[in-house]
Every structure is written in structure tokens, then in C-alpha cells.
A and B are shown apart, each in its own frame.
Chain A
């Protein structure tokens, strides 16, 4: 099948905020991994598309090094002002006239946790979709998706063209090997100016400010023998915190 994975470059949430380290969104890395696994098993192609500033090329190279084929970079220098709607609109413009069987997205971006772009794009393109996939497979000409719901999992069958959003619980993305890295260096990334892609890029929401949440009160550390700690804790839960 012909896959196209929408990838986003995000700040590394596990690094201290001030480092500004940028990485491939973990959920998108899982989407790339799964598409490549299916390509290895059933044939097909895996392309990539990213909307972001020029500096995001590094992230595209990383995904190419995992084994993807062609990559498109929609250049949006002030990407931070764009919300999921603006991104989805741009992607809808990008996909106009391009034929893919499956568009794969991450279930959410690790920095904003919005989780909107995939289903928005599916609706704009009139595609059936499944969100929060934890497993993908191909049966004949159909895509089989296991999705994680609120109280269980659902196995869904989709007929391409279709869209799926992926959870990182689906797999562990491969670390590119030297051969992959060398091959990725030789690939050309087609860059597309934002205004050539089409689509309505006016965001429908705007972030006013970002701040540190109120911190938690420092905790109390208990020590001693297990039974002493247990006794102290129960006492505190009952009389201090009053939760039991």
C-alpha cells in the first residue's frame, strides 16, 4: 500500500524546557515505524510530509533514515501560530491530487496534546478513519486497525483510501542504522512554500500565553522499618490529609 505519514517536529518534553531540543513527535515515529513494517511485509511505499520551519529538515532526515521513501517539507516559519485546524487545512491542500492508500498521523502531538489534526484531515478529505490505533495490519486490499477505546479495544476494517492516527503503544520505533542514515543523506526533500500548497491557513484558536502550573506542596518523606512507615502513613492519611 502507499502510505504517507504526517510528521511533526516537537520540543523534547522529557528535556528541561530551556534546552529547546527538538525531536520527531514520538507518536509520529510509531506511525512511521508501523508503515515501514507493513512495507517490508507487503510491499508499497512510505512517504513523509511535515509542516514546519526550515530547521525541521533534521527531523525529516531522521524519519527518512528509518526507511521512508520520499519526503515533502511544507515550509512554515512561524509554525507556532498555527493550530491543528490550520495544519490540517494545509495538509488537505497538500494531499489534493496525490494518491495514497493510507494517510497516517500520530494520535496527538507530544507538545500540545491536541489530538485533532488527523480526524480533521480525514473529514476534510472525506476519508473513513480510525483514531488511537495500537495495531495495524493489511488483509488483501484492506487495512485492519486495532484501536484502544475507553474500556477495551476495537478491531476495525477500513477500505483505502483511509486515515489512521497512531499510538506509541503500537511498537518501538527503530533506531536508524548507519546504512539508513547514509541513504537518508542522499535523498532529496521536496520543499513547498506554504502559500503554494493551498488550503485555508487561518487558525481557529490562539495560544495567549504559556506558564508553569502551580507546583505541588513539597512532600513528606517517611523512614523507618516497613511496619513503622505503614503506621505513620495511615495516621497521616487519616488525620492530616483526611482521605481515609
Chain B
């Protein structure tokens, strides 16, 4: 295998863990097969991330500085990645499957003439063939998909691999980027940032998720208290996002985010297939539902049949004691 360029996504001033997972996976693949893994950061101030990327074993690091990257616009990102990719001579470009990545994969693939394997749970390269496993049909089935042409673009679901360090000295290459005033692109009017937890759902080790069983402020309070025990972010179903109880960024599922924490609490959630698609790879799933026939119980590790309003107060108290003790 040859060279893979990993795109390091930045959020809240650091490289996202899911990007480090991707970097680690390809470093390991490259180590085994004699290739090299490289990284690229697009940011107003990309230099600050060099240390982290060296720690995770990038052999070459491309830094593209530009104020445009502080905003969420697809056109400058596609243009910058195209130019870095051509400069690097890599055979493939790899992303963590974030919403920002989904925004650019398709357009970038057309620019590069690349095959795309998107939102994969696993990817391997054998004898030059790129083959990925992708959850399909709302994660009910898995498909093995092969790239028929090169170069290849791949995006990997968060939590598919474990990030691990392997410090290396990297060549640092600064790539100049200038804004193209003539470019046909959307104009950004406003960015609305969701209030609440700063822990990214897709990176959390514990997620507390609420569904329509959580009906009022009292229920919300109970969820918050449980989440507080683990400093965990709060996830939600589409039903309670739609009703305005939780922000859209907390939605987990086919439309929302994919999470795979060590511990997932599904509270007052029925377990519709489109929700399950986003959480079924959690290691341990605890479900609380008053309906013994709720589909969520087919996926859980531990199921508690009962009223969440009655169960949560004692559960939170016991957990607080156990975690503190």
C-alpha cells in the first residue's frame, strides 16, 4: 500500500478524536504494508496542531492556513484539499465521518476523479484493493463495498478504531491558500451554535439519551442529573428534538449522529430502527422503558421495565455513590 492523506478535523481548538482514530488505523495499515500516512489540517492557525499529529505518527503534515476555514463553507475546503492531495501525490484521502466531511466528499471525489467509500465501519487494503464494510438499511445489514478506481476517498464512522500514539518526526509543509473571491459558493449569514455540553456525542465514553418517555421539565432534570454523574453529553431521539425539548445537534440515529460509547443509557426510547442505527454499536446498552415489548429491549445489555420517573432517582443516587466510591 502506498500513501494515505488523513484529514484532521478541528473542533473547539483541538483535533477531533475520530480523526485521530482514522490516522491511527491508516498508520497501522501502512506500517504493515510499507506505506506512509500523512495528515492535513485546514484552520485559521493550523500550526498549533503539529504536535498532536506528530504524536499520532503522521510522517508528513500539510498545514493550510486560511480564515475561510474558521467558517463552515464547502467551496474553500474542497479547493484546498484538492490542491494538497495533488501536491502530496497520495493514493487516498481519509476522513472521519463528520457532518463537515459529508458536506465535501462528493464534490471532492468529482474533482479528484476518485472512488468514494463513505461512512464505513471498517476499511482494509489488500493487494491494492480497497474494500470497506458499510452499515446499510439503517444498520440492519452490512455491505462489503470495493473501490473500482483510484484514487480513493474514504470516511470512517467515529468509534470504529481506537486512537493510539506512536510519536514520529514529521516533515511539515505549509501550503499557501488564497481565497477566491470569484468562486460560486454559498454566502454565510449566521452560525447558530447549540447551547449545552461541550463534550462531543460521537467521542463520549458515556451517553445518556432521552426519548419521548421524558415528558416534562422534571424528566429533563432527571436526565441531566444522571448525565452529570458521568459528565456525559445528552443525546436525544428525533421525537424529542422535534418537540423542541432537545437541540438538533443531540439527535442520534440515521438522520442524526452515530455514537458508540462504552455505556449508552436509552431512557424512554422505543427503539425505532432509525434510532437504533445510530447507537447499536455501543458496548453496553442500558434501556429503561415502561413497555416490556419496546423494541429497544432487543438491543440492550440490561433492560429495566418500569417508569423512568420512579427508576431514575434511585439509579442516579446509586451510580453517584458507585462512581465516587
**What residues of chain A have their CB less than 8 Å away from a CB belonging to chain B?**
11, 13-14, 17, 84-85, 88, 107, 110-124, 126-132, 134, 144-145, 148-159, 162, 167-169, 202-213, 216-217, 219-223, 226-227, 229-231, 233-234, 236-238, 241, 243-244
Contacts and interface: CB of A to CB of B under 8 A. Distances in A.
Contact of A149 (B99, B137, B145, B315): B99
Given A150-B11, A156-B188, A223 B248 contact: no
Contacts of A230: 311, 314-315, 317-318
Given A116-B116, A120-B109, 10 more contacts: A85-B116, A115-B119, A123-B111, A132-B103, A149-B100, A154-B188, A208-B143, A208-B146, A230-B317, A237-B263
B250 to A, nearest CB: 11
Contacts of B106: 84, 88, 115-123
Interface stretch (B28-36, B58-66, B83-91, B298-306): B298-306
Nearest to A221: B303
24 contacts: A84-B106, A88-B110, A113-B119, A113-B136, A119-B105, A123-B106, A123-B110, A127-B184, A132-B103, A134-B248, A148-B248, A150-B200, A157-B188, A159-B184, A205-B117, A205-B145, A209-B143, A211-B144, A216-B301, A223-B305, A226-B315, A234-B319, A241-B284, A244-B263
A219 B260 CA distance: 17
User: Interface extent on B, as a size class?
Assistant: 35 or more
B115 interface: yes
B300 A219 contact: yes
Contacts of A221: 297, 302-305
B54 interface: no
B104 A205 contact: no
B280 to A, nearest CB: 7
Contact of A145 (B12, B102, B186): B186
Given A123-B106, A128-B186, A154-B72, A217 B301 contact: yes
Contacts of A107: 102, 255
Nearest to A227: B314
Contacts of A243: 206, 262-263, 283-284
A95 to B, nearest CB: 14
B270 interface: no
A140 B70 CA distance: 28
A226 B241 CA distance: 28
B144 A207 contact: yes
A141 B273 CA distance: 40
Nearest to B189: A155
Contacts of B287: 219
A195 to B, nearest CB: 20
Contacts of A233: 286, 302, 304, 315, 318
Interface string B225-240: 0000000000000100
B137 A213 contact: no
B99 to A, nearest CB: 5
B82 to A, nearest CB: 10
B222 interface: no
